[in-house]
Amino acid sequence: MPVIARFCGIVIKMYLRQKEHNPPHIHAIAGEYVGMFSLKDAEMFEGDLPLRYQVYVRQFIAEYRDALYRMWENQEFRKLPFME
C-alpha cells in the first residue's frame, strides 16, 4: 500500500484498486489507530482514529481531493505535502 503523505504523526495510504473496494477512500494510520476516510465527504466510515487526528485528515482530503481522486482512478501514486 503506497504511502501518499506523512504529517502530524499520521501516515496516509491508498491501496491498489484491484485489491480495494469502493467508495474511493484513503487509510489514515496514527500509531495503533486506523481510519478509512471517504474522498467524497472526508468522513471516517470505518476505524478508531481519535478525533484529534480526524481533524487533520479531513483538512488533508479537502486540500488534495482532486489529486487523491486522480490517484484512485489512474493508480499512479505520488507523495503529497501537508498544506501550510
Residues 36-61 pLDDT 10s: 999 999 999 999 999 999 999 999 99
- CA–CA distance from 47 to each of 27, 34, 68 (Å)? 9, 5, 20
Q: How far apart are CA 48 and CA 19, in angstroms?
A: 22
Over range 7-30, report the average pLDDT.
Answer: 87
End-to-end Cα, the chain, rounded Å: 26
Residue 22 confidence (pLDDT):
78
Radius of gyration of the chain (CA): 11
* Domain-wise residue ranges, the chain: 3-74
Among residues 12, 41, 36, which one has the least CA distance to residue 25? 36
